[in-house]
Amino acid sequence: MFIIQQSVFTAVICVLCSVLLIILLKWTRVKKLKLPPGPKGWPFIGNLPVLFQDPGTTNDEYYYTRCARQYGDIYKLKLGSKMMYVLCKFDYIREAFNHSYIQGRPPAVAYQIAFGPEAKGIILASGSEWKVMKQFAVGVFRELGVGKGVFETRIRAETERLMLKLDSIGGSSSICPNLMELFYIAVSNITCGITFGTQFDYDDSRFKAIVNVMQTYSHSIGPSAIFLTSRLLCGLPFGPGKATRGCLSKFKEFLELEIEKHDSKNACSAEKSSSTTFVGAFLGEILNKGADENFNKVNLITCCLELFFAGTETTSITCTSPFCVSLLTQKFEMRLGGKSMLSL
């Protein structure tokens, strides 16, 4: 009995020593690499708690800006077992994107959880899959006139609708318009036009709910979209992981219905070249060549989702920059005799 206990004790000591040795070896190897500095983290979880802070409410200054001031233009954050490097200077970012070995993207596990294993998209795709999808999207956009005069006409028409909406709110001066929501609707309406060939009204409650999902999503995925790429974080039953999953499934419902409506309207053409929408061109590709690992209905939903999420927040924020807001505020003040209140 005593002999058995002694051998178990020896085995436990051996295992502990080996674990300590591995940790020590790893630590000395990391030390030798001369990695950039970064804030101290917790054992095992590193700087993960930072991701659960809302930068808009917890700090006056964005956490990442504060770190850049303290540690320099390249610093590291440890997210669990993964190391993240933050580049805060345009030249560094440009240089980094010129290195082929750091151009890959982590797999979009959140898409796979929400949509299925075929979900790859464009923005979070890597390697040959990214090349195929990007080439296809650029080709379709070119055919649909993106970046040409015909597209400008479309943007001008949507701007007119937005101005009419702002005017109508100005008429009933007690209403305080949520400017960001209106810009989100305007911008996503343009994306809707290219994607399904449809357009929504500024008061459409279903579309307003979807715009709300987009706003929640960009908050929940976190910096560098970490909640999209970490299975552990995305799978959490609380916080941003849960919110990200919720947003993805609500958006999927919206897209499925719109794609179905598009299909039943028979807008889809078997010929990619004669298609008038992104969905039509994509379905045409499936019809012509048969479904494969890139062209299938799951990846269609993923690509559409990315077009909305990539284009809406970026463009809306650009449009509602202080310059635009000050212009609009002046216009409103003139109309309401100084009674206007615009909110972002």
Q: How far is the CB of 226 from ligand HEM (least distance, A)?
A: 13
Residue 54, phi-psi category: left (phi > 0), alpha (psi -120 to 50), beta (remainder): beta
Q: What is the DSSP string of 124-180?
A: T--HHHHHHHHHHHHHHHHHTTTTSHHHHHHHHHHHHHHHHHHHHHHHSTT---BHH
CB of 97 to ligand HEM, least distance (A): 8
Smallest distance from ligand HEM to CB 66, Å: 22
Complex with ligand HEM: residue 314 or 330, whichever CB lies closer = 314
Q: Does 310 bind ligand HEM (CB under 6 A)?
A: yes
- Interface region with ligand HEM, contact rule CB under 6 A, candidates 46-54, 203-211, 249-257, 309-317: 309-317
SS3 46: strand
Residues in the chain: 344
Report DSSP state, residue 35.
P
Type of residue numbered 297: K
For ligand HEM, which residue of 10, 318, 326, 330 counts as binding (CB under 6 A)? 318
230 binds ligand HEM (CB under 6 A): no
Q: Would you state the structure tokens that stand for residue 303, as one six-digit string?
A: 């690509």
Diameter over CA atoms, the chain: 94
Q: Near ligand HEM by CB under 6 A, which window of 11-19, 35-43, 72-80, 313-321?
A: 313-321
| Complex with ligand HEM: residue 246 or 311, whichever CB lies closer | 311
Contact pattern for ligand HEM over residues 5 through 44, marking x by CB under 6 A: ----------------------------------------
List the x/- string, 122-151, binding to ligand HEM by CB under 6 A.
xx----------x--x--------------
Residue 63, exposed/middle/buried by CB under 10 A (0-12, 13-18, 19+)? middle
330 lies in the binding site for ligand HEM (CB under 6 A) = no
How far apart, in Å, do the first and last CA atoms of the chain sit? Answer: 74
Judged by CB under 6 A, which of 314, 324, 326, 327 binds ligand HEM? Answer: 314
Confirm or reject binding of residue 107 to ligand HEM (CB under 6 A): no
Count of C-beta atoms within a 10 Å radius of residue 293: 12
Q: What are phi and psi of 197, to 5 degrees?
A: 80, 25
CB of 187 to ligand HEM, least distance (A): 7
What's the min distance (Å) between Cβ of 239 and ligand HEM? 24
Question: Which of 119, 307, 328, 342: binder of ligand HEM (CB under 6 A)?
Answer: 307
The backbone region for 266, taken as left when phi is positive above 0, alpha when psi lies in -120 to 50, beta otherwise, is left
Sites of contact with ligand HEM (CB under 6 A): 122-123, 134, 137, 191, 306-307, 310-311, 314-315, 318
